[in-house]
Amino acid sequence: MSTMSGMGTGDPTDGLWSWSFAENLEVTAVCGAVSTVVQRPVATLGAPVEGAILCDVWHTGGDFPTNLECFLAPSDLPEDAVAGAVATRLGVAVLFPDDTLNPSRYVRASPDGTLRAVHVDEQETDDGTEKRHARPCTGADPACAVAPGCTTSRWKPDPTPETPAPV
């Protein structure tokens, strides 16, 4: 299933990937990892290359300070698989939007490639949205009640012994 729109819709058209990384990374490292994983050229917005995936990389504060938007992301590759492979290649966690309308809910690709739904606190700044305090979506987190969708998502809440699902 393709998730090019960032919402898990399976839209077959080329689209947008919007990710955040848990470290302050160089533009060349991020673009190089994406290019290697998708096996296609990647270019930055300031230096477009015909046929390349166009990427914008910038930095904010927070726990996920490196941000990436890939325009014309390939529709033939599932976003979750690519994000997981990029996280593994860079050895850093990657956040990408999940398939709900809950604005605090993302999927976190861990450096080992594990994918898990999380909630993240966000704060708008002049440099962009800062993401902090990523925590597992357990179904009991107050953020689960903010908007519908956590239980209907492909990425189900994952109760833990410390935070069981609501009864």
Nearest to 16 by CA among 4, 1, 34: 4
Distances (CA, A) of 117 to 52, 106, 125: 30, 6, 24
pLDDT greater at residue 65 or residue 7: 65
Range of the domain at 64: 15-145
Is residue 99, in this structure, part of any structural domain at all?
Answer: yes
Is residue 113, in this structure, part of any structural domain at all?
Answer: yes
Is residue 31, in this structure, part of any structural domain at all?
Answer: yes
What is the amino acid identity at position 96?
F
Is residue 74, in this structure, part of any structural domain at all?
Answer: yes
Is residue 2, in this structure, part of any structural domain at all?
Answer: no
Task: Write out pLDDT tens, residues 20-56.
Answer: 999 999 999 999 999 999 999 999 988 878 889 999 9
Q: Which of 55-69, 97-111, 148-162 has the highest mean pLDDT?
A: 55-69
3-class DSSP string for 65-76: CEEEEEEEECCC
Residue where the block lists tokens 């833990």: 160
DSSP one-letter string for 30-69: HHHHHHHHHTS-EEETTS--TTSEEEEEEE-SBSS-EEEE
pTM of the model: 0.85
Is residue 116, in this structure, part of any structural domain at all?
Answer: yes
Nearest to 18 by CA among 82, 76, 92, 61: 82
